[in-house]
Structure 1
Amino acid sequence: MGVLNNSIIYHIAIILYACSVSLYFIDYFQSNRRANRIAFWLLSVVWVLYSIFMLLRATEAEINPILTLLSGIYFYVWLLITLSLMINRFMRIDFLVFFTNMIAFGVSAFSIFTPLGKMSPVLADQLVSGLVYVHVGMAIVSYATFTVSFIFSIMYLIQYRLLKQKKWNARLRRLGNLPKLDSMSYGLNLFSVPFFLLAILLGCMWGYTKLDNFHWYDAKVIGSFIVLFVYCAGIYLRGSDTLQGKKIASWNIGAFLIMLINIFLFSSLSNFHFWYL
């Protein structure tokens, strides 16, 4: 039971950590103070969970918490989180916190698959096997937020058309103004892209570790990176003002359609994603 609880704590910490990094990503591009505050408090919860995980692991494994390579990695990540929280609290260097935790999250996720250091085989198997649920859950959250972003883009195009046709009616007022619709769509994509990237990386690491037939050139893996690239390109084009208004809304709709192709077509062509359907 203790091993299972330790595994659950770590998986919850990984999910909250991904949410925190995604919110810091929004703050980086939009200077969103609310997103920054939520990210800070999520990171604080991650620090608490990570501290509990390290303490329980050291107790169960009966090892020094820093004298093995794997334990040293955990301690390194814990220190990065601690330092970033202190810097954010006392010095308010937000971007340093963002970049620090991007590195710390990557090291934290990768450490699950590192076959170094002393760890209970049961705990190791729980951590690796449980990551498939974290991967699927994060992917589904990304799909949901991409969908809402797509809906905002549809509403933008409808509103744009009504304004061009000068149809001043109740529908026009209820759809919301164009800048708000554009901002909401863009903000959701800013959250979803790093979240989706982390889901892909966790899924690839899990597949590489647990599956005999995993290939990087698998249709679903390639399709997921294509979706990621299209959304990243949209964020760049929107952020650099290369595409604005109707054009970027159309781009976002196209990106969503590519995502649907990846989910339904590429999954059916995959060697190990068939259960999604």
Structure 2
Amino acid sequence: MVTQSWIYDAIIYIYALSLLFYFSDFVGANQRAKRMGTGLLLFVWVLQTVYFFFEFKTLHVFTDFETLFFFSWVLVTVSLVISRFFRIELLVFFVNLVGFSILALNFFSDNNVSTALEGWEIADELLFIHISLAIGSYAAFTISAILSGMYLFLHSQLKDKKWSRTIWRIPSLDKIGKYTYISVASGMPLLMLAFSLGTVWIVLKGEYQLLFDPKVLNSLFILLLYAYHLILKLSLKASDYRLAQWNLFAFALVMVNFFILNRFSNFHGWFWM
């Protein structure tokens, strides 16, 4: 059973890493990231295919597990075809985000699998991955907020022609804007994956009322805020000054989620709350 659990973990982690590379290519037109994402996604397809033929050896009516597994495999296959022949990276990303969520729901609902860690249930492992991804996204958003604060400070100093030793130790406005964008673009897919796994956890527990939990709803709102940040940057060509202001506003909601809504949430709270 542990071996089976490790196979599940390998597919989930590699799948998640592939999505991060695909998102990086979408927001930055990074061909190297696209090649990495495609290679990892192809590896996921190979693992799924091998697992499928070794585990499902007889022809019979598919169980729910097998049906969802096959559906996820089809989505990966179709997305690879889209990536190869149509080159619509955003479509590939969202198709695989759905496929990733279905695969996670399928794997972590399998009661026949035990975790490698003693005393853990399979749902506990899912929640651990969810929290790890969420913390990673919060770290990226924190860095982006600090950079946005630096941008606004440097912008005001230069505008008022206030020269000091401090401003010489701060990167240029262009570099700060670039680093801020990279941080937001890194945090976004992490939060999307965390949100999808959190939703899977709610479904597995059967506690559907948690979908309307204030922390869950605010997390969705945060996703929309940062998605609009990328739209401002990529499509509307907003100035870095406006992006910095918007970024600090979005980060304020992250802090509300982290420090305030934890006290009222029934989803899960941090251990010191």
Q: Where on the TM-score scale, by shorter chain, does this alignment land: which range?
A: 0.7 to 0.9
SS for the counterpart of 2:236 is: coil
Residues 231-250 of structure 1 mapped to structure 2, 5 A cutoff: 231-241=226-236, 243-250=238-245
* Worse-superposed segment, 236-245 or 250-259: 236-245
Q: 1:66 to 1:263 in 2, by over 3 A?
A: farther
Tell me the amino acid that sits aligned with residue 68 of structure 2: I
| Unaligned runs of at least 5 residues, structure 1 | none
Q: How far has the Cα of 1:187 moved from its partner?
A: 2.6
Residues 157-176 of structure 1 mapped to structure 2, 5 A cutoff: 157-167=152-162, 171-176=166-171
* Worse-superposed segment, 73-82 or 242-251: 73-82
Q: 1:67 to 1:174 in 2, by over 3 A?
A: farther
Report whether the alignment pairs 1:222 with 2:222: no
Residues 150-161 of structure 1 mapped to structure 2, 5 A cutoff: 150-161=145-156
Tell me the amino acid that sits aligned with residue 198 of structure 1: L
What TM-score, normalized to structure 2?
0.80
- Percent identity, aligned pairs only, is 33
Partners of 1:84 and 1:100 within 8 A in 2: yes
Alpha-carbon distance in 2 for matches of 1:208, 1:77:
17
Count of aligned pairs: 266
Residues 48-67 of structure 1 mapped to structure 2, 5 A cutoff: 48-51=46-49, 53-54=51-52, 58=55, 63-64=57-58
Report whether the alignment pairs 1:17 with 2:15: yes
Tell me the amino acid that sits aligned with residue 156 of structure 2: R
Partners of 2:229 and 2:243 within 8 A in 1: yes
Alpha-carbon distance in 2 for matches of 1:74, 1:26:
27
- Pairing partner for 2:62 from 45, 64, 68: 68
Report whether the alignment pairs 1:209 with 2:209: no
- Pairing partner for 2:182 from 187, 190, 206: 187
Tell me the amino acid that sits aligned with residue 9 of structure 1: I
Q: 1:84 to 1:230 in 2, by over 3 A?
A: closer
Alpha-carbon distance in 2 for matches of 1:65, 1:243:
56
Alpha-carbon distance in 1 for matches of 2:155, 2:47:
47
Aligned residue in 2 for 1:121 = 112
Residues 128-167 of structure 1 mapped to structure 2, 5 A cutoff: 128-167=123-162
| Unaligned runs of at least 5 residues, structure 2 | none
Q: Deviations over 1:133-159 (max 9, x none)?
A: 111111111111111111221222232
Tell me the amino acid that sits aligned with residue 16 of structure 1: I
Partners of 2:144 and 2:183 within 8 A in 1: yes
Q: 1:113 to 1:5 in 2, by over 3 A?
A: closer
Q: How far has the Cα of 1:219 moved from its partner?
A: 2.1
Q: How far has the Cα of 1:217 moved from its partner?
A: 2.1
Q: Deviations over 1:35-54 (max 9, x none)?
A: 32332343344345445654
Aligned residue in 2 for 1:29 = 27
- Pairing partner for 2:44 from 40, 43, 46: 46
* Worse-superposed segment, 33-42 or 167-176: 167-176
Partners of 1:4 and 1:126 within 8 A in 2: no
Partners of 1:15 and 1:134 within 8 A in 2: no
Alpha-carbon distance in 2 for matches of 1:7, 1:37:
28
Tell me the amino acid that sits aligned with residue 22 of structure 1: L
Q: How far has the Cα of 1:268 moved from its partner?
A: 0.9
What TM-score, normalized to structure 1?
0.79
Alpha-carbon distance in 1 for matches of 2:243, 2:183:
14
* Worse-superposed segment, 126-135 or 139-148: 126-135
What is the alpha-carbon root mean square deviation over aligned residues? 3.3
Partners of 1:213 and 1:271 within 8 A in 2: no
